[in-house]
């Protein structure tokens, strides 16, 4: 009984994490930029930790606002596709890391784990790219 409950709850937990990843995949690029700016400013001694954190948050907000503004105002399909691809690339990297981590939970070989992770990267990156391309210009 408890083994069955553990299996069901394990699948439910993995399903919840996958749903959360697909939901938040659009925000991977601003989060990545914010983390990189914060880390670089703090590591090189430019700013204190609080100021570096605020600068990182500001950089992430600017990336999100600029990307959304370009997608909402541009009618050029090439520009929209390029901006969507740039914003979806970190989502694909996050999908790769998450599915590689999930495959590490089981006893999977290296090659199948990386193939599974590439499939996860394609799915998550493709979902983020489709959500970004669905933004209609005003």
Task: Kindly state the DSSP code that residue 47 receives in the 8-state scheme.
Answer: S
Q: Is the pLDDT of residue 25 over 90?
A: no
CA dihedral sign, ordered 126, 129, 131, 134: negative
- What pLDDT, in 10s, does the model give residues 53-98? 999 999 999 999 999 899 889 888 899 889 988 889 998 998 899 8
| Residue 127: C-alpha distances to residues 17, 69, 85, 132 (Å) | 15, 20, 11, 9
Domain ranges of the chain: 27-73, 76-138
Mean pLDDT over the full length of the chain: 88
Structure tokens, 39: 């880390």
| Cβ atoms of 41 and 55 closer than 8 Å | yes
Predicted confidence band at 119 (pLDDT cuts at 50, 70, 90)?
Answer: very high
pLDDT at 121: 92
| Cβ atoms of 33 and 65 closer than 8 Å | no
Residue position matching structure tokens 């409950």: 5
| Residue 129: C-alpha distances to residues 9, 66, 126 (Å) | 30, 16, 5
Q: Is the pLDDT of residue 107 over 80?
A: no
């Amino acid at each position: 009984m408890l083994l069955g409950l553990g299996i069901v709850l394990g699948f439910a937990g993995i399903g919840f994490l996958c749903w959360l990843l697909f939901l938040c995949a659009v925000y991977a690029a601003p989060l990545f930029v914010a983390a990189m700016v914060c880390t670089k400013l703090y590591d090189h001694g430019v700013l204190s930790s609080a100021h570096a954190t605020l600068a990182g948050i500001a950089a992430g907000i600017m990336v999100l606002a600029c990307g959304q503004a370009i997608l909402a105002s541009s009618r050029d399909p090439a520009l929209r596709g390029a901006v969507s691809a740039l914003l979806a690339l970190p989502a694909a990297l996050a999908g790769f890391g998450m599915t590689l981590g999930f495959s590490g939970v089981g006893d999977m070989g290296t090659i199948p784990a990386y193939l599974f992770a590439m499939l996860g990267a394609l799915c998550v990156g493709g979902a983020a790219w489709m959500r970004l391309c669905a933004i209609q210009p005003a």
